[in-house]
Amino acid sequence: MSAAEAEADWPEGISLAGAEHAIRTRDVGVQYALRFTRKKTIRQSFADVVTRRREERFWALRHVSLEIVHGESLGVIGPNGAGKSTLLQVLAGILHPSEGVVDVRGQISGLLTLGAGFDQELTGRENILLAGAFLGLDSVVVSEILPSIIEFADLGDFIDAPIKVYSSGMRARLGFSIATSVDPDILLLDEVLATGDAIFREKSKARVIELVRAAKAVVLVTHDMNWVTEYCNRAILIEHGRIEIEGEPEEVVELHRQHTAEEKARKLAALRASDHDALVARRRERRARKGRT
């Protein structure tokens, strides 16, 4: 389907006047079938067929409708396992949604969990070239931006050493540097502001702000609430795979704080209750043992 066809096909109503959208999703859902999403051997699968094990499915993400225009910085927050990273993977085109429509305009860059996917045996410099090739960049373009990537990552002589000798901070620095240097229209970042030392954190903040100013769209998953309220102009809270609230960062962060506090209280109460149950069970067991002897 071409972009023009998609435009004609799109239902009216969620378009923001004036600005061109960078990302638009309609009712997106991602379903995992547990039967196939676990690493399996042929023997296990055979056993499953014989024992007729029921297929389990669950929705990691559902009913997600979003629109992000160029120049926006969207903060995505929520508890662990809520579907934040799944959302980024869908936007990046890594996962295809099981339902709904995703429409992305512009080149996307996002090394989602930074530094993990590099080839351990190759040097930092070779990994930059490799990443460029994976992102579909022309080798001429990559060799042009190579010096700036190396400079920003600030790895010194390590740039010509195999990645396997790098520290995790160095890997993250290289990853961030690559992801933000390829001049993307849309930048997806997952938990990157927490990596690296204080100096690099400052540098990377400055870089993201620069990209937002240059009218690029940024989608950022983070647990750093200050960053969201300070630098994002919109935020969404995702819980259990659904968008709980979308709006002003302050509002969204406040709701997230409330929910987290409630959740904590609930967990604590459950913990106490189960402690009590355990105590009762132990007593009963002791009495039973006494009765036998």
Partner 1 sequence: MTAVNHTYARVYDASVSPGPIALLREGIDDVRSHIPLIRYLAQAEVKKKGANTLLGNVWWVMDPLLQMAVYVMFIEIIRSRSTPDFPLFVLAAILPWKWFTASVQDSTSSVVTQERLIRQIAFPKIVLPIAWVSSGVVDFAFGLIPLAVIMLFFPDRITAYPVLIPVIAVVQYVFTLALGLVVAAGNVFFRDLGNVVRHALRLWWFLSPGLYSISQFEDTPFFKEHHLLLELALLNPFVTLFNAYRSVIYGSVEAGGTNLPPHMPDWVALGSLFVVSVVLIAVATIVFKRLEPSFAKVL
Residue 40 CB, nearest approach to partner 1 (Å): 6
Mind spelling out the 3-state secondary structure of the chain? CCHHHHHHHCCCCCCCCCCCEEEEEEEEEEEEEHHHHCCCCHHHHHHHHHHCCCCCEEEEEEEEEEEEECCCEEEEECCCCCCHHHHHHHHHCCCCCCEEEEEECCCEECCCCCCCCCCCCCEHHHHHHHHHHHCCCCHHHHHHHHHHHHHHHCCHHHHHCEHHHCCHHHHHHHHHHHHHHCCCCEEEEECCCCCCCHHHHHHHHHHHHHHHHCCCEEEEECCCHHHHHHHCCEEEEEECCEEEEEECHHHHHHHHHHHHHHHHHHHHHHHHHHHHHHHHHHHHHHHHHHHHC
Q: Does 65 bind partner 1 (CB under 8 A)?
A: no
Stretch that binds partner 1, among 111-119, 149-157, 194-202, 233-241 (CB under 8 A): 111-119
* Subset of residues 132 to 151 that bind partner 1, contact rule: CB under 8 A: 133-136, 138-139
Residues 75, 97, 124, 241: which binds partner 1 (CB under 8 A)? 97
Q: Does 84 bind partner 1 (CB under 8 A)?
A: no
Q: How many chain residues are in contact with partner 1, going by CB under 8 A?
A: 61
Residue 147 CB, nearest approach to partner 1 (Å): 19
Q: Does 126 bind partner 1 (CB under 8 A)?
A: yes
Q: Where does this chain bind partner 1 (CB under 8 A)? A: 1-3, 6, 19-20, 22, 28-29, 32, 36-37, 39-43, 45, 70-71, 89, 92-108, 110-113, 116-117, 119, 121-122, 126, 129-131, 133-136, 138-139, 185, 214-216
